[in-house]
Amino acid sequence: MLDSGLLADLRAVVGDSGLLTGAAVQERADVNGHVPRASALVRPASTEQVSGVLRLCHARHQSVVTHGGRSGLVEGTATTEHELILSTERMNAIERVDVAGRTMRVQSGAILQRVQEEAERHDLMFALDLGGRGTCTIGGNISTNAGGVRVLRYGMMRALVLGIEAVLADGTVLKSLNRMLKNNAGYDLKQLFIGSEGTLGVVTRADLRLFARPRSTNTALVACRDFDGLVRLLGLLDSSLGGQLSAFEAMWPDFYTATTSAFGHHKALLPESYGIYGLVEASGADLESDALRFEEALGEAMQQGVVLDAVIAKSEAERSAIWAPRDDPWLITQHYGATLNFDVSMAIEDMAGYLANLRQAVAQRIPAGRVFAFGHIADGNLHVIVAPGTADAAVMRLGEELAYELLRPIDGSISAEHGIGLERRHFLNISRTAQEIQAMRALKRALDPHGILNPGKVFE
C-alpha cells in the first residue's frame, strides 16, 4: 500500500476524480486479462498535473508505471502493489491540425484510431496503423516505437513524430515540440523518449507528421511457390509500382490454414495447397490508372511464374476479407491456450533459414509443439507463434530460448516493434552489446536518478 500522506498530496494535485484506489484499480484489466497489482492510480488531466505527480514521487522515491491503452504484449505496464499507476486517459485531446504544414498536435492519451479519423476529416492521413488502433494511445505508440503494416512506405513511429513534450522523473517539463520537418538545432531530444517504454520520462504531448490521404487503395492476396518466390515478388512490385507499395505481408501455410478452415472463421480466398501466401497493398492518387498498374504488375508476375494464384479486392468488403486472416492471430492462442508470441526481426535473406531452424528445434526439443508464422517481411519483421502443447513453465521458457538464441548468429532483434518490457529483458544481450546496455543504463541514471520510472522494464 502507498503511504497515506502521499495519497493525500496526490489528491491535492489531481482532484478526487483523478485518484483511484483499491478495487477501482484492480478492476482495470488490460487487453490480455492481466489485473494490475498496484493499489493506487492517478489520472492527471494536464502536463502540469503530471509534473506535480512526478515531483511528489521523485521526492519520496515512489515508483511510477505509466498506462496508456494497456494493449502491449511484453508486460511493459505490469505493476507491483508498491507502485503507482499514472494513466494518461484524461489527456486525450487533439489540440490542433495544421493542414498546410501537414502536422497534428495531440495529447499522449489520444487513441490512435481517433487520430487517424481526425486526419481523414482534413483529407490527410496519419500513417501508423496496427490491429490495436481502437485501443492503443499515441503515448504508447511513442513509448514502444510502434510499427504496424505501413512501415515499408512510411517508417516506424520514430519517423512520424516531429516533436514531443515529456515530463522527467523529477517533474521537469521538457518541451521539445516541433512542427518543422527540418530542425537541426542541437540534439534531437525527442528520440530519447521514442522507444524507451516510459523508463526515461512521461510523454504528454506530441507533434505528428501527416501525409496526403491516398485516393486509391489496391489490395491482393497472392500465392507463391516458396519464400524465395515471395521475395522476388517484392522486388518486382517495388520496382513496377513506382513507390506506391505500402504493405507486403506474408502468411505461411500453417498460419493461413489455422486462421481460415482449421479452427478459424475466416474464408480461405485461395486454396490451401500453396507454399506461401502474400498480402499486397498499394496506395496512390488515381483510381483508374493505379488499379490498372496494380493488375498489370501482378499479371506480369504471374506470367513469369512468380505468382501462382491471386485474388484482387474489388470492394472495401473484399479488402477486409483479404486482411481478416492476417489480422486475427489470436485465433491460434484461443485454440491452443498457452502460446508464445514472438515479434522478431532480421535481414530478409535470413528469414527462411531462421524459421526452418526454429521448426526443427521445436520438433526436437518440444515434440508436441507447433509453429505458426506470418509477418511484414518487407521491413524484416517476422511474427512467430509457438504452441508448445503445455503450459509448463520450464517448457515455455525453453520455447523462448529456442526462438531468441537462434537470432544471435544472424544479428537479429528480439523485438521488432513491441518493446522489451519484463518479458524480454533477460534476452536483451542477444540484440544489444554490453557497451550498448551500459550506455542505456547511463541515460537512465542521468534522467531518472532514483529509478522511479517503470522500474525493472527493459533491463533490471
Residue 27, pLDDT above cutoff 90 = no
Cβ density class 30-48: b for 16+ within 10 Å, e for less: beeeeebebbbbbbbbebe
Instruction: Just give the CATH number of 330-443.
Output: 3.30.70.2740
Are the folds of 4-89 and 94-212 the same?
Answer: no
What is the reported pLDDT for 320? Answer: 95
* Cβ(189)–Cβ(176) below 8 Å: yes
CATH of 94-212, one of 3.30.465.10, 3.30.70.120, 3.30.230.10, 3.40.1380.10: 3.30.465.10
Residue 132, pLDDT above cutoff 90 = no
Confidence of residue 53 (pLDDT cuts 50, 70, 90): very high
Q: How do residues 388-399 score in pLDDT, each as one tens digit? A: 999 999 999 999
CATH of 4-89, one of 3.30.450.20, 3.30.43.10, 3.40.50.9100, 3.90.1150.10: 3.30.43.10
Confidence of residue 221 (pLDDT cuts 50, 70, 90): very high
Map grid coordinates 484482387 to a residue: 312
Task: Name the CATH architecture for the domain at 216-326.
Answer: 2-Layer Sandwich (3.30)
- Residues 27, 31, 34, 38: what is their CA dihedral angle, to the nearest 10 degrees? -50
Cell numbers linked to 164: 514531443
Q: DSSP class of residue 244?
A: -
Q: Is the pTM of this model over 0.85?
A: yes
Confidence of residue 26 (pLDDT cuts 50, 70, 90): confident
Map grid coordinates 523462448 to a residue: 400
Q: Which residues contact 183 (CB under 8 A, 6 or more apart)?
A: none
Average per-residue pLDDT in the chain? Answer: 95
Cell numbers linked to 130: 496496427
Q: What share of the chain has pLDDT > 70, as a percent?
A: 100
83 C-beta neighbours (distance < 10 Å), count: 23
* Cβ(377)–Cβ(230) below 8 Å: yes
Q: Give the rounded distance of the alpha carbon of 169 from its chain centre.
A: 25
Residue 262, pLDDT above cutoff 90 = no
HSE-up of 55 (CA within 13 Å, CB side)?
A: 12
Each domain of the chain, given as residue ranges in start order, spans 4-89, 94-212, 216-326, 330-443
Helices within 122-274 (DSSP H only): 138-144, 151-154, 190-193, 227-240, 253-257
Instruction: Tell me the residue ranges of DSSP E strands in 308-414.
Output: 309-312, 340-345, 370-375, 381-387
Residue 201, pLDDT above cutoff 90 = yes
Q: Which residues pair with 21 in a beta bridge?
A: 40
Residue 2, pLDDT above cutoff 90 = no
Q: How do residues 263-291 score in pLDDT, each as one tens digit? A: 878 999 999 999 999 999 999 999 999 99
Residue 215, pLDDT above cutoff 80 = yes
What is the reported pLDDT for 76? Answer: 81
Confidence of residue 242 (pLDDT cuts 50, 70, 90): confident
Residue 31, pLDDT above cutoff 80 = no
Cell numbers linked to 280: 499486397
Residue 131, pLDDT above cutoff 90 = no
Confidence of residue 254 (pLDDT cuts 50, 70, 90): very high
